[in-house]
Each structure stands twice: as C-alpha cells, then as structure tokens.
Amino acid sequence: MAYPPWLQEQLAQDESLRRSAAARRLTRRLASLHLQTVCQSSRCPNRGQCWSQGTATFLILGTICTRGCRFCNLSPGRPGPVDEDEPWRLLQAVRELGLRHVVITSVTRDDLPDRGAAAFAAAIQVLRRGASPLLIEILTPDFQGQRSALETVAAAQPDLWGHNLETVPRLYPGIRPGAGYERSLDLLAASKDLEPTIVTKSGLMLGLGETPTEVMAVLADLRQAGVDHLTLGQYLAPSRRHVPVSRYLSPAEFAAWGRYARKLGFASVHSAPLVRSSLPPSLENTVSGFEF
C-alpha cells in the first residue's frame, strides 16, 4: 500500500534530518562504544528528528530476539550471552552526549532465567550513580509475567516504565505470537503496586486492522491499569515480509483519538502518525520536574 502524500512528505523530512551533522556524530559515537539503538534496529521513522537533537533509545541485551512479532524489524533467533560491561558503556555515552533523559529498551530474552530483568536493573543503577540529573525511562518486554523479574526492575526505580500493548486483543495471535494481552496489562498494573512513584506509559500502533470499538476498549483497560502516559502512532510495515498496513489514518483521525484519550484521564497523550513510544526530550511535558 503506497504512503499517502502527507506521510510521504513527513518521511522525506525525517530522511533529510538523518543526514545532519549532529545525526552523523551520534551514529559514529554510538558505534565506537559498541552500543545499539532501537532507532536503527526497528527502522523508526523519527530517527532523523531524534538524532539531530542528540537523542537515541538504547537497545540492551543484543539485537537478536527470542520472539518473532510480525510488525517488528528485530531479528528472531538465539541471542548471545549477556554483556556485563554494557551498562558502563551506556553511562559513558550518556555523559559524553550530555543527555538528561535516556530511554532504555531491549529485545525479548525468554532464554534468560530472569528474562533480562537484571540487565535493566543494572543499567538503571549504574546510570543513577554516574549521571545526574537524569530521567531514566525504560521500555521493557513482558518478562513472561514473572513476578520476581518485575520486582527486580521496580526495585531499581526507573522514573518511567513503559510497556506497549501495541494492538488490540483480537490481533495478538497473528501479530504478537508469544505475547499475551492480559499479561501485558498485568505488568503495567503491577509496576504501580510494586513502586507507586514509578510513572507508567504504553502505546498502540493503529492501522493494523483494529476497529474503533476495539481501540476504545483498550484505552479503557489502560486507564483501569493506572497507566499515566499514552502514545498512538501509525503502523508502518518495516518490509514486505512483515504484516501489511491495513489502513493509513489521517492526521485528523489521530487528533480525534488524542482528544478522546485525554477525556479518559491520561496525564498526557501523544497521538499523531509518526508518534512512537520513545519521544524526544524537547516535548513540553514534565514528570517529576524533568523534561521528556
């Protein structure tokens, strides 16, 4: 399905930003520190915007995922061993780039006994000790619902804990094999129970074949789970191998969804075609006094 003209224009603008001097410097520095970004791995359409501002979402625990979600550009397979030095290289990047807001995500590591929870905790703890002031946002997999894994992450006290539902329950079997809608909702609710000061965040991709009624039900479930911040963006298929786009929503439709979600009581809502779950820190919202 061809991109509509307004989306073609936005993507072309991002491609131009991706060639900026600031974006090239960031790319070189991350490569020299042997750090991965989900910006590259997921082919995010906002790479140029974020990189030109010196912002990146760091990908820990390698680039090979134990699952094979049909919307995701990460490679499925058997991951390698955990790199124990990764948190320290992450700290070095944060210091050198002068970041005040860092986003950390990972591939899904169902192969690990703790599903990767200790790696998130280690990254948070190293950054807390070595970089201040710093807002630390994490975007985690579901850890297969393992309570001890959730406790490990919560004890490290990230400022924001994100976990995306991605789509509506009906589409999970064909799009998110290995994941569970209720499991993901439970994670978001449990993070609040374990550490009430943690701010929670979730996101949906629209255009996968969901109905308005289904989206309304998911938004209600997210509020019931106590989720604070919401992102809604257009699904863009990374390649012909991935699940195709069912429909491109117009900017006006995203605006209408944003208004609807705000009425439900989310603390903040970002709803637009190229919105993704990791937003650049220039956005004028605050959590605990930090910009994000």
Model confidence over 149-177: pLDDT tens digits? 999 999 999 999 999 999 999 999 999 98
pLDDT attached to residue 183: 97
Q: Flag whether pLDDT at 226 surpasses 80.
A: yes
Query: For residue 280, is pLDDT > 80?
Result: no
Of 160, 151, 100, 108, residue with least CA distance to 127: 100
Query: Cα dist. 4→11, 157, 253 in Å?
Result: 11, 42, 14
Decide: 266 and 229 in contact? Cβ < 8 Å: yes
Residue 290 has pLDDT above 70, yes or no: no
Please determine, for residue 191, whether its predicted confidence score (pLDDT) is greater than 60: yes
CATH number reported for the structural domain that contains residue 214 in this entry: 3.20.20.70
Average per-residue pLDDT for the chain: 85
| Mean pLDDT, residues 276-290 taken together | 46
pLDDT tens-digit readout, 83-139:
999 999 999 988 887 788 889 999 999 999 999 999 999 999 999 998 778 889 999
Min mean pLDDT across 49-53, 64-68, 81-85, 140-144 is at 49-53
Under a CB-based contact definition with an 8 Å cutoff, are residues 292 and 281 in contact?
yes
Which residues in the chain belong to E strands, given as ranges? 36-37, 57-60, 64-65, 75-76, 101-106, 135-139, 160-162, 199-206, 229-234, 268-271, 286-287, 290-291
pLDDT on residue 124: 97
- The CA distance from 99 to 278, in Å, is 14
The amino acid present at 111, given as its one-letter code, is D
**Which residues span the domain enclosing 229?**
5-291
Number of folded domains that form the chain: 1
